[in-house]
Structure 1
Amino acid sequence: MNDQFNQAHYDIKQEIQHYEHDLDHFWTALTGAVVLIMQLGFAFLEGGCVRYRNIQSIIIKVYANTAISIIMMWIVGYGLMMGKTNDTQFNGISGFAGFRFKDHPESYADFIFNAALAAAANSIVSGGAAERMSIPGYIALSALFSGFIYPICIHWAFKGWLYDLGYHDFAGSGAIHLTAGIGALVVTYMLRPRTNRFNPQFESQFKPANTTFICLSCLTLYMAWMCFNSGSTLALSDGSVFTVGNSIANTMVGGASGGLFVFFYHYFTNRNTDNQFSLVMVCNGNLAGLVAVTGSNDEIEQWAAFVIGIIGGIIYVLVAKILHKLHIDDPVDAIPIHAGCGLAGAMCPGWFDRRRGIYYEQGAYQWGVQVLGCVCFVAWSAAWHYAACRILEKMGLLRVNNTIELEGLDPTICGGHAFFYESIREQEMKEPFSFQRDVQQQEQAKLNEIEFDDRNLSIIKQGDK
């Protein structure tokens, strides 16, 4: 009797574990699919920040890096990232091109999630290259980033030697955002500023094309970011659901506090001008808070998320000002948001983590490990992006020529403008009085119709008499 009871208990326990594993894999795959929606957000963000004549080209780059990231992750990136580690714990050595996924079914969901993260990270680099990098050159750089540069950093942080030292970066403030942000910095520096970007006479020509796009992008990214962060649990069972809830709550608070800080900062520094409220600034502040809270949002309290979001807003404002003074041209502010706030976010576990942070009297070891990780990510990303840009420059694939840049990538190499009304606007510029003439002709036609109706009405009245 006892043997039957024990066997039944064992069978039930095994069945429960089976369902728990299925739930974990479903959660990972689902959040990975939602994270891929971030690409829509990045497309709106970058399309809104550039000028009208480059909207289509930047969206082409976002789509291209999405496809390239998925393919490169499948061929080589996932194996380097999450494969069985080698003796040096430097990179993975198995799982290339989906090999043996059937023997490890959990790899399917894991691949979905990590491929989506790689695509998001790749889009960060494209922002700094907006309006002047050649599309073939960007595609080559995108393949290198998603297939080699990025996977190595992820392996260090989540499975390799940094992980063994105790480095903690829950959803990737350092391993993802700092790595990509530094790539954007190097690419932006190598490309040099857009023509006349820092000439005061032409400053008005570099305003964002569509702030509505930027707002849509921010809200899309805000929602998808909750799966970006909470999906990093890779599980819902065995108490992980509480970590998921804490992660989402901290993501919401951190993003909101970053946006509000930048909103009020911009208002108080511009309250006597006609630019008291800036949609672009509040959206970027929101993204800055999200990046900053990403690295520690599993093990912090909500008050800490609020503080970290404000820190992200401060870092964004300061770094953006420094870059402008140094004449480093970043059209979408990818560098201050992802490199600056990614660095701050990667350091936050050393301060605010409930199990590791200095604030909770856990010592400075964790802080030191976080510093080491950030130094390694910066050095690795900067070195490879610099080398790649040098090679592309020698091959003539780094920057488009001046004619294409000044006329815009859309009309010169992408088949035309993204919006029809741009062609109307160009026609009006060529024929400045055509629009006014059309309006006058329409008004005269209406007056003629009214006079005709009045004349007919008077004839009818005379006939009645």
Structure 2
Amino acid sequence: MELNLQNLSVGLDTIWVLLAAALVFFMEAGFAALEAGFVRSKNTLNIIMKVLMDCALGLLAYWAIGFGLMYGQSNGWFGRSGFFLQGDFSFLGLNIPVSVFWLFQAAFAVAVATIVSGAVAERMKFSAYLIFSAVATGLIYPLAAGWVWNSNGWLHNLGMLDFAGSAAVHAVGGWASLAAAMVLGPRLGKYGKDGTINAIPGHNIPLAALGGFILWFGWFGFNAGSTLSALHKDIGLIALNTNLAAAAGGTMGCLYTMFRFGKADVSMAINGALAGLVAITAGCAYLEPAAAVAVGLIAGLLVVEAIGLFDRLRIDDPVGAIAVHGVGGSFGTLAVGLLAKDGGLFYGGGWHLFQVQLIGLLAVSVFAFAATYLLFRLLAATIGIRVSAEEELEGLDIAEHGFQAYNELVNGSFSTAALPSVLAESWVEKVETN
């Protein structure tokens, strides 16, 4: 009887984590739709291709190197076993197969690279981005996250609480985005010589909204799946807190822009909901529902102000990734030190947990920023990171991929501008023959 109950527990946990892994991986579709909607139509395929290659190339990099650095037997700073998913993983104490654990963790890894893809949209060389994506998933993210989540990681041993990754995933991706955007520079025409900030609207806000909804949906796997168990006592609380924080962030994004600008800004409402999700990710298992609402409300306000601030600093981020993930993730990490039911300052726990959270946040953020900054400087000095002005004006879809996203009718016929030259010639020849 005991053996059967154990098998049932393993089976339930395995199915749950597989489902959660699928939900988190499906978030990449959300990222693709969100970022495609927030950029101009001439760069749609390019941003989708970046997200696709985060999944393809990023998964291979995490399999080969990243997982071992993150969850291998560690000296506190990096893992030294488990590369290519080989070796004994019994020391992890999992109740699920390591292959299932890897699938879940790999979905997190590719999300970090994809956060950066939005911040560098519309002007970065595709070849240089591929190198960044591989390094981010295979090295930068695994090292930082391993400090937090490896059972021997130095921040884990310090007592840092980051249940599903406000710091380990989102702050890492957000502050890496800041470094990338700083080195890359703004899009042509974004900032005038007189200091003016020129809006460059996304071409399909409904598509961006769909991406936001998909991300919200996938976040139930992101947070509740981090229990790694279908039988976890707090799984319902985690899902509830996740939903409430998103709702509060979206509400604040809407109402605050109505109050400040006189109009409800759709993009700010979307990013407000995402900021709420990012911020609650660290504390979803540690906070009461009312605290989750407070976290979401503050995150929704912060993201609006942060997007404006980075624009005033002339840091061009087409999708708001730095504000959503960097600022939202940082706030959410620190909020645990204030609002955690066990150890939070506002619950009588004193300053200790807040100090630990601050140390952990600074460690992973500074590392992610510095590593990305150095990598982008190295790439800029070698293969180059930015397309030419002519290519940027033409659009990266044609310049980098030879296709455009939308094949429009011209005088009753499909435009051949969407096709590579060889295919275009074949199309014209076929039409003339007929």
So what's the TM-score if we normalise by structure 1? 0.84
Give yes or no for the alignment of 1:112 onto 2:103: yes
Give yes or no for the alignment of 1:149 onto 2:136: no
Among candidates 262, 268, 285, match of residue 298 of structure 1: 285
Q: Secondary structure at the match of 2:315?
A: coil
Amino acid at match of 1:70: L
Give yes or no for the alignment of 1:206 onto 2:195: no
CA 1:205 to 1:285, structure 2 compared with 1: closer, same or farther past 3 Å? closer
**How far apart are residue 14 of structure 1 and its match?**
2.6
Kindly indicate whether the alpha-carbon contact (under 8 Å) linking 1:196 and 1:202 is maintained by their aligned counterparts in 2. Answer: no
**How far apart are residue 48 of structure 1 and its match?**
0.5
The separation in 2 between residues aligned to 1:411 and 1:50, in whole angstroms, is 15
Q: Which residue of structure 2 lines up, in the alignment, with residue 197 of structure 1? A: 190
Among candidates 282, 293, 316, match of residue 269 of structure 2: 282
Give yes or no for the alignment of 1:177 onto 2:166: no
Among candidates 371, 380, 394, match of residue 367 of structure 2: 380
Kindly indicate whether the alpha-carbon contact (under 8 Å) linking 2:82 and 2:89 is maintained by their aligned counterparts in 1. Answer: no
Q: Which residue of structure 2 lines up, in the alignment, with residue 224 of structure 1? A: 218
Question: Could you give the per-residue CA deviations for residues 311-358 of structure 1, whole angstroms, max 9, x where no partner exists?
Answer: 111211121111111111000000000000100011111011111211
Pick the structure with more helix per residue. Answer: 1
Q: Which residue of structure 1 lines up, in the alignment, with residue 179 of structure 2? A: 186
CA 1:167 to 1:423, structure 2 compared with 1: closer, same or farther past 3 Å? farther
Among candidates 160, 172, 175, match of residue 167 of structure 1: 160
The separation in 2 between residues aligned to 1:424 and 1:117, in whole angstroms, is 47
Kindly indicate whether the alpha-carbon contact (under 8 Å) linking 2:189 and 2:198 is maintained by their aligned counterparts in 1. Answer: no
CA 1:316 to 1:15, structure 2 compared with 1: closer, same or farther past 3 Å? same
The separation in 1 between residues aligned to 2:158 and 2:411, in whole angstroms, is 60
Kindly indicate whether the alpha-carbon contact (under 8 Å) linking 2:242 and 2:281 is maintained by their aligned counterparts in 1. Answer: yes
Question: Could you give the per-residue CA deviations for residues 385-438 of structure 1, whole angstroms, max 9, x where no partner exists?
Answer: 11111111011331111110111111222122101138789x99xxxxxxxxxx
Q: Which residue of structure 1 lines up, in the alignment, with residue 33 of structure 2? A: 44
The separation in 1 between residues aligned to 2:66 and 2:410, in whole angstroms, is 42
Q: Which residue of structure 1 lines up, in the alignment, with residue 12 of structure 2? A: 23
Give yes or no for the alignment of 1:307 onto 2:300: no
CA 1:94 to 1:331, structure 2 compared with 1: closer, same or farther past 3 Å? same
Please give the residue correspondences for 1:428-447 in structure 2 after superposition, counting only pairs within 5 Å: none
Structure 2 unaligned blocks of 5 or more:
416-434
**How far apart are residue 187 of structure 1 and its match?**
0.3
Q: Which residue of structure 1 lines up, in the alignment, with residue 308 of structure 2? A: 321
Q: Secondary structure at the match of 1:56?
A: helix
CA 1:63 to 1:423, structure 2 compared with 1: closer, same or farther past 3 Å? farther
Structure 1 unaligned blocks of 5 or more:
1-11, 429-465
Amino acid at match of 2:323: P
**How far apart are residue 270 of structure 1 and its match?**
2.5
Q: Which residue of structure 1 lines up, in the alignment, with residue 209 of structure 2? A: 215
Please give the residue correspondences for 1:86-97 in structure 2 after superposition, counting only pairs within 5 Å: 86=75, 89-97=76-84
Q: Which residue of structure 1 lines up, in the alignment, with residue 234 of structure 2? A: 243
Q: Which residue of structure 1 lines up, in the alignment, with residue 46 of structure 2? A: 57
| RMSD of aligned Cα (Å) | 2.2
So what's the TM-score if we normalise by structure 2? 0.90
Deviates more, 1:309-318 or 1:34-43: 309-318
**How far apart are residue 82 of structure 1 and its match?**
1.1
Give yes or no for the alignment of 1:398 onto 2:389: no
**How far apart are residue 125 of structure 1 and its match?**
0.8
Question: Could you give the per-residue CA deviations for residues 136-163 of structure 1, whole angstroms, max 9, x where no partner exists?
Answer: 1000011111001100111110121111
Question: Could you give the per-residue CA deviations for residues 159-212 of structure 1, whole angstroms, max 9, x where no partner exists?
Answer: 211111110000100111000101100000000111111239997771111001
Amino acid at match of 1:228: F
Question: Could you give the per-residue CA deviations for residues 14-57 of structure 1, whole angstroms, max 9, x where no partner exists?
Answer: 32122212221221122011110000000001100111110111
Q: Which residue of structure 2 lines up, in the alignment, with residue 259 of structure 1? A: 250
Among candidates 342, 350, 353, match of residue 366 of structure 1: 353
CA 1:380 to 1:201, structure 2 compared with 1: closer, same or farther past 3 Å? closer
Kindly indicate whether the alpha-carbon contact (under 8 Å) linking 1:52 and 1:422 is maintained by their aligned counterparts in 2. Answer: no
**How far apart are residue 101 of structure 1 and its match?**
6.5
Kindly indicate whether the alpha-carbon contact (under 8 Å) linking 2:268 and 2:304 is maintained by their aligned counterparts in 1. Answer: no
Number of aligned residue pairs: give it.
409
Kindly indicate whether the alpha-carbon contact (under 8 Å) linking 2:30 and 2:211 is maintained by their aligned counterparts in 1. Answer: yes
Q: Secondary structure at the match of 1:417?
A: coil
Give yes or no for the alignment of 1:84 onto 2:78: no
**How far apart are residue 102 of structure 1 and its match?**
8.8
Amino acid at match of 2:228: L
Among candidates 45, 59, 63, match of residue 70 of structure 1: 59
Kindly indicate whether the alpha-carbon contact (under 8 Å) linking 2:190 and 2:198 is maintained by their aligned counterparts in 1. Answer: no
The separation in 1 between residues aligned to 2:404 and 2:246, in whole angstroms, is 34
Among candidates 30, 33, 37, match of residue 22 of structure 2: 33
Kindly indicate whether the alpha-carbon contact (under 8 Å) linking 1:28 and 1:113 is maintained by their aligned counterparts in 2. Answer: yes
| Identity of matched residues, % | 34
Amino acid at match of 1:31: A
Q: Secondary structure at the match of 2:408?
A: helix
